Amino acid sequence: MDSVTIFWLQVLVSCAVCALVAKWYVWPRLTELSLNSALIPLIFVHVFRYVGMVLLVTGMVDPKLPRAALSASAYGDLLAAALALACIFALRAAWRFAIPLVWVFSAWGFADLLNTVRGVIQTDLPNFNLGAAYFIYTFYAPMVVVAHLMIFWILLKSKSWKIGNNEHHEM
């Protein structure tokens, strides 16, 4: 099996495994929580998207990779991480604009993921030396995709979401 096939197989299997964990273990617990409390752990997954900045560190990935594609992905992830952290603070404090901010974060974060997938395909990324960044694409990114889909589902169901007794959190 060639490296490109292995890369995409790992991405696919990681997505499937993350989806099963989400369905069997995460989702049942989230449905017991209030809207804000259910969104927070899913958004926390995105706070670590700053690790994408490793693509810009000299010597970490193949220097033949197009810098523009790497920069778009890295800075897009950094902004998504910052928005995710802002959402968590807003949700924990039950600020009025918390849910609209989650929508903004989710739209940006998912668009950034789609842009990254486009970049992966256009640059034929799996044929380059990715170093440790390989695991961002084959392990962490699938987790981010599943978390995004769950966030969107909760947001779309927010009007009928169960109201929990744990809406207020200690900072």
CA distance 149 to 55: 25
- CB distance 77 to 112 below 8 Å: yes
Is residue 100 assigned to a domain?
yes
Among the listed residues 79, 14, 93, the one whose alpha carbon sits nearest the alpha carbon of residue 49: 79
Q: What pLDDT does residue 160 have?
A: 82
Domain with 76 in it:
38-158
Any domain includes 171? no
Q: Is 44 a domain residue?
A: yes
> Digits of tens for pLDDT over the chain (171 positions)?
999 999 999 999 999 999 999 999 999 999 999 999 999 999 999 999 999 999 999 999 999 999 888 999 999 999 999 999 999 999 999 999 999 999 999 999 999 999 999 999 999 999 999 999 999 999 999 999 999 999 999 999 988 886 554 444 443
* 142 domain residue, yes or no: yes
Task: Specify the pTM.
Answer: 0.90
How many structural domains is the chain composed of?
1
The answer to whether residue 33 is domain-embedded is no
Residue 163 located in a structural domain: no
Angle at 10 between CA 9 and CA 16, to 5 degrees: 90
Q: Is residue 4 part of a domain?
A: no
Question: Is residue 164 a part of any domain in this protein?
Answer: no
